[in-house]
A and B are shown apart, each in its own frame.
Chain A
């Protein structure tokens, strides 16, 4: 059942579906602390209780200019390789059960999106990109190298 549960959100100006098992929680961002010298998609650090999370700006990952973090903005917390990351979300819509099958991405995507999108899924009459949050964290590191 968990496989069919998705978080529908708007990140980097695009509506996407994130597989829920990859997601730890959705929280409100605190004031981030900058990390000078870090790759551009790292928007800073912020504390969630006693954890220090690395804030990722998905805009940069898909090749868009970065956007400033607004106080109270919501972030999607994911754990990748025992580290906590938070993806800045423009908007969190819903967590919902989508029964439709994931299908291959048919059209041509922007290079940035092509890297992170795994598939397309049909939900309430619209097509959503299925993205793996881990790709937002690992890929740019390779790109930067």
Chain B
């Protein structure tokens, strides 16, 4: 019975979270029948299972909600905010009861008529909720179609997490045993057939290991499920209108990881609603849509998951942040002047900082972004801000896919291996590299890398060990480490080994107490390796690794300049659609676009590409064959864009100085050698020249042509397109702007507005071919040449 109850509670908790989100989505679009059916099924499931477990309160509540929803389905009741609020009330009450059920094992006493009674509000039909509590045991079965979709749920089962963990440990043991066995096989010089069959076993073990780690994964939309509800309630409370969207719900994440980012995520969303989104009046004043948007999206990149929470609110104001920080005594005015804009944004992560000018009931509860940041960092994640002042803020949480597996850099020092979390590593350099300068200063060491100074720590010294005499001085490397925002230091190690995916387990307390290690890991060779605590090392060495005042900005500028200089002389190598290797200066490429082959079309003998709302010329003799996608280099000369179809980008290399020029100007400017192979260099000047003639010459201002007396629409339908094609703007309405020329479609029509008298040149059109006389200044309305001529004479504008 206990197992049943536990299953019920776990299932119900999930259903309630899902139902909350689904209800809010349904409220936004009550015509969404499918969603309504889904909510109905969820409630129905709770009712069904609670009846089986004899939980009368739960059954009554679920029944009331189900009944009301059923009436909506049958069209007997309108779907409105009152109904949704009432159902949400039921959902909340059910959550409370389930919480007590979980701790006490029995349904608490209580009266639910208040939440059930809420259905009576605004209800047209006779109140069915009132009779609900009496119907407890008899669960009327709904039509077959109601339950059809539930079958999906039966295709998965619940497994306790410890069981999964033990399977995981078991598989790890198997992997280690396999490695040991493989070594023994190699040493014994076994028969090839034995080795072949061992390899088969080995492959299936690898596959199994993969499956086991997938078993712990859950779709991230579980994490997103409660958010719509939170947004709805909070937006209502604060009188804001918010459109909430989520995407990437199919991304999978380790269960445990999910638990760890739930609170930070909710906090960020609440913050966005409370502080980020302006009051409706302010939004109107700022010319924004009254309905604000908050978008939560997830995507997987490598073995990391990126979750972005983007709002279109007011964003962060660096000056306001600084003022706030000074007021909160986190920062002195002197320090503030040394801060770069980026550092100012980082102020929100300082403990004791709150961006709201007043503490609100919603998010100003002493839980700040510092807690969010430390929680995310605790699980090996990173928080990033992307601010667009006045237009919104995006917060990016980047977390490893699983709690226990991280990407680590293996380094050697004092004759043994250590791991450094890859996420904290900014750069790896050889000590002998030209861009590195190491100096001893007052007993300490600092290293300057491209103008940027970092404190230098030697790993052997930090660990209190001597250098291993077998180490080769040439191998010594510097690992630039960024342990947290705004901090960096260089760690000198005897050698860099490689990157590995590491399963991290906590080390024994007395080892963790040293502060130097973050855990242990067991690579496939079976020799334990300690994971270094990059923050702890800093503390142990008693150094200030803060970047403030180190002239980082100057260095960053220098770096940007160096990059720009490099870009100017970089060559993009690509294979064109005929398979030839060609190159083009990187700086003329705006970007590489991948478009469906269907976006290319032929028009007036030229191949063109439609990208978004624009049409660009394409350098191709004919349309490419086949379907699928095609890559286009977008060449940009500052004014116009030309697309150059390619098969693939090969590399970006330094442009060699030696170019063998081509004999005659053409597509190929010359040939150069890259890595010993000849590469044809594209001449962007020639290319652009070919297409520049086609591009419409930008006229500074197109003359405005006013059509008058257009009674039958001839002017609008027949004449206006010709005029527009000739480079005029055409209007037949009265505008504030004085027209440059007036076209009167009748021979004697009266001109209103006094435009004629206001000095606006006028052309009158006549219907007959022949002129009325030698003085007739009118133009026959189907004489295109004469008409355009007349316009040009009057204005001196327009294109021939």
- Counting chain B CB atoms within 10 Å of each CB, the highest count among A49, A50, A81, A137 belongs to A50
| Chain A interface SS verdict (over half) | mixed
**Given A37-B516, A47-B528, does the pair A54, B511 have CB atoms closer than 8 Å?**
yes
The closest CB in chain A to the CB of B417 belongs to A33
**Given A45-B520, A45-B530, A54-B508, does the pair A38, B173 have CB atoms closer than 8 Å?**
no
CB contacts under 8 Å to B, within A52-86, are 52, 54, 81, 83, 85
Contact B505 A33 (CB under 8 A): no
Contact B510 A39 (CB under 8 A): yes
**Given A52-B505, A83-B508, does the pair A33, B463 have CB atoms closer than 8 Å?**
no
A137 and B416 alpha carbons, distance in the complex (Å) = 25
B interface, size bucket: 20 to 34
Q: Which of B176, B414, B465, B507 contacts A49 (CB 8 A)?
A: B176
Residues of chain A within 8 A of B522, CB atoms compared: 47, 50, 52
Does B211 sit within 8 A of A, measured CB to CB?
Answer: no
Contact B173 A35 (CB under 8 A): no
**Given A45-B520, A52-B522, does the pair A36, B414 have CB atoms closer than 8 Å?**
yes
Contact A50 B511 (CB under 8 A): no
A54 and B414 alpha carbons, distance in the complex (Å) = 20
The closest CB in chain A to the CB of B168 belongs to A50
Q: A33-B416, A38-B514, A52-B507 are in contact. List 8 more A-B contacts (CB 8 A).
A: A36-B464, A38-B511, A47-B522, A47-B527, A49-B177, A50-B522, A52-B521, A144-B510
- Per-residue CB proximity of B118-131 to A under 8 Å, as 1/0? 00000000000000
A47 and B180 alpha carbons, distance in the complex (Å) = 12
Contact B527 A36 (CB under 8 A): no
**5 contacts across the A-B interface (CB closer than 8 A):** A35-B530, A47-B528, A50-B169, A50-B176, A54-B508
Q: Which of B176, B464, B506, B513 contacts A47 (CB 8 A)?
A: B176
A54 and B530 alpha carbons, distance in the complex (Å) = 12
The closest CB in chain B to the CB of A83 belongs to B508
Contact A33 B176 (CB under 8 A): no
Contact A83 B416 (CB under 8 A): no
Does A42 sit within 8 A of B, measured CB to CB?
Answer: yes
Contact A33 B527 (CB under 8 A): yes
CB contacts under 8 Å to A, within B673-706, are none
The closest CB in chain B to the CB of A30 belongs to B526
The closest CB in chain B to the CB of A81 belongs to B509
A interface, size bucket: 20 to 34
Does B374 sit within 8 A of A, measured CB to CB?
Answer: no
Residues of chain A within 8 A of B416, CB atoms compared: 33-34
Q: Which of A33, A36, A52, A141 contacts B510 (CB 8 A)?
A: A141
A38 and B416 alpha carbons, distance in the complex (Å) = 15
Does A103 sit within 8 A of B, measured CB to CB?
Answer: no
CB contacts under 8 Å to B, within A100-125, are none
Contact B176 A52 (CB under 8 A): no
A47 and B507 alpha carbons, distance in the complex (Å) = 12
Does A28 sit within 8 A of B, measured CB to CB?
Answer: no
CB contacts under 8 Å to A, within B487-510, are 505-510
A81 and B516 alpha carbons, distance in the complex (Å) = 21
Contact B528 A45 (CB under 8 A): yes
- Per-residue CB proximity of B159-172 to A under 8 Å, as 1/0? 00000000001001
**Given A36-B464, A50-B173, does the pair A42, B520 have CB atoms closer than 8 Å?**
no
Does B55 sit within 8 A of A, measured CB to CB?
Answer: no
Report the minimum CB–CB distance from A62 to chain B (whole Å): 17
Top 5 nearest A-B pairs by Cβ distance?
A36-B463, A50-B172, A54-B508, A45-B528, A49-B173
Contact A46 B528 (CB under 8 A): yes
Report the minimum CB–CB distance from A53 to chain B (whole Å): 9
A103 and B522 alpha carbons, distance in the complex (Å) = 43
Residues of chain B within 8 A of A37, CB atoms compared: 463-464, 514, 516, 540
A34 and B529 alpha carbons, distance in the complex (Å) = 9
